[in-house]
Amino acid sequence: MYHLDIYGTLVAATLVLLLGRKLVQTVPFLEKYTIPEPVAGGLLAAFALLVVKQFTGWEVSFDLSLKDPLMLTFFAAIGLNANLASLKAGGRSLVIFIFVVVGLLFVQNTVGLALAKMLGLDPLMGLLAGTITLSGGHGTGAAWGQIFTERYGFESATEVAMACATFGLVLGGLIGGPVARFLVKNTKTPGLSADDTEIPTAFEKPYTGRLITPLVMLETIAMISVCLLAGNYIQSALKGTPFELPTFVCVLFIGVILSNGLSMLGFYRVFDRAVSVLGNVSLSLFLAMALMSLKLWQLASLALPMLIILSVQSVVMALYAIFITYRVMGKNFDAAVLSAGHCGFGLGATPTAIANMQAITDRFGPSHVAFLLVPMVGAFFIDIVNAAIIKLYLLLPVFPSIAG
């Protein structure tokens, strides 16, 4: 076992990102299917570590102390850049997209339960391979896995949940680009040289006009720090109550309240360019750390029936994005980018969705609508609705011990 401390892990993550960028620029397949740079570099690193373990017996471990803070920083940045007026700007499209996303939640759980029954598995396995880990991600998977083990005697529920969430995170980054490219083929794109007078939303143009001063950077770091501190405090206060929320939702809430509150009072206006730069750096480093630290041999040890369920779920996500998300959202370029984002957070997490959309818009042109809707829905609405839907499914007759 060779262990990289926090500094070694940070160096490794930055090298993985640089490697991913080089791969996407030089490998035609990756460029053609717009695979996000952190996904390309992170998966290559994970496969390299798998080969090292298989042939030498050596295992490399990482100090991932920064991974969760980086993820929370990303969500704090989304909150700080969330102007409440944008809810009105989202308007009808926001409402429609929420219904589309909620529809997928019911589809995923139904598919998971049906396949678990067909394969003779515990129905709880179907939920773990449904919205708990796919739309919910690692955080939701860990929480429900612990509940299934402690309350309902489902052994290894947490390990299964982590494996499913990891599978989803990888596939969410891999299928988003190909799905969007398939949809874009017959769709008019704005083009990179289009006359675009609208101000880009947060995370939409991470490399454009990002000149910032040291003072602005310090102010931004201070606000993000407040979001992390207050968000963690609120999550701890709500823990064990009916109002319990994941930490990142609390952090995002604080960001929204802080930025809009200061703006309404006239005290301070958030410098969105600095916030989005820090958010994008955190996003890239988080994804690099999450993917390069994958223990692929643990995924290989999953039972074949579980792999079947997860594979079917991936196909269902792609088909849902193509035939439902794209069509319902208008069958245009914005709908194609939304579909790529939906693949990201429908199988993995909001950071993956943002990375998917950035890969598409960097190549084909801007999509303000997609970058307005996905952070709000993928990082906010989905977790609240998902918790309610999971509890609703647990009331079904196939869960007698839980329903009782």
Q: What is the DSSP string of 315-354?
A: HHHHHHIIIIIHHHTTSSHHHHHHHHHHHHHHHT-HHHHH
Secondary structure letter of residue 238 according to DSSP: H
| Average pLDDT value for residue range 97-126 | 92
Q: How many CB atoms lie within 10 A of CB 344?
A: 32
Poorest-pLDDT segment among 116-130, 176-190, 287-301: 287-301
Q: Note the pTM of the prediction, 2 decimals.
A: 0.69
What tokens appear for 144 in the block?
Answer: 């429900």
Residue 268 has pLDDT above 60, yes or no: yes
DSSP-assigned beta bridge partners for residue 2: 60
Helix-then-strand count for the chain, H and E: 19, 2
Rounded to whole angstroms, the Cα distance separating 339 from 331 reads 10
Above 80 in pLDDT, residue 95? yes
What value does the mean pLDDT of the chain take?
A: 83
pLDDT reported for residue 11: 95
Between vectors from CA 260 to CA 254 and to CA 266, what angle results, nearest 5°? Answer: 130
Q: Is the pLDDT of residue 196 over 60?
A: no
pLDDT at 202: 52
Mean pLDDT of 274-299: 82
> How large is the average pLDDT for residues 298-314?
78
Copy the structure tokens of residue 36: 């996000």
Residues whose CB falls within 8 Å of the CB of residue 104, separated by 6 or more in sequence, listed in order: 135, 317, 320, 324, 342, 346
Given this model, what pLDDT does residue 300 score? 62
Angle, vertex CA 41, rays to CA 38 and CA 47, nearest 5: 125
DSSP assignment, residue 331? S
- Output the pLDDT for position 214: 87
Q: Find out whether 74 and 289 touch, Cβ atoms under 8 Å.
A: no
C-beta separation of 153 from 182 below 8 A: no
Average pLDDT over residues 314-329: 95
CA 23 to chain centre: 22
| Residue 117: pLDDT over 80 | yes
Q: Where are the alpha helices (DSSP H) in 196-268?
A: 214-238, 247-265
pLDDT score of 8 more than 50: yes
What pLDDT does residue 17 have? Answer: 93
Hey, CA dihedral for 147, 153, 159, 161, is it positive or negative?
negative
More confident residue, 85 or 199: 85
Question: Quick one: pLDDT band at residue 129, thresholds 50, 70, 90?
Answer: very high
Task: List phi, psi (to 5°) of 394.
Answer: -70, -10
Q: How many C-beta atoms lie closer than 10 Å to residue 392's C-beta?
A: 12
Question: With 50 as the cut, is the pLDDT of residue 306 above it?
Answer: yes
Give the Cα separation of 309 and 389 in Å (integer): 20
397: exposed, middle or buried (Cβ count in 10 Å: 0-12, 13-18, 19+): exposed
- Per-residue model confidence as pLDDT tens digits over 336-372: 999 999 999 899 777 788 888 988 888 888 888 888 7
- Flag whether pLDDT at 403 surpasses 50: no
More confident residue, 121 or 245: 121
Question: How much is the pLDDT for 103?
Answer: 96
Averaged pLDDT, 137-144? 72
Q: Residue 402 above 50 pLDDT?
A: no
Residue 34 has pLDDT above 70, yes or no: no
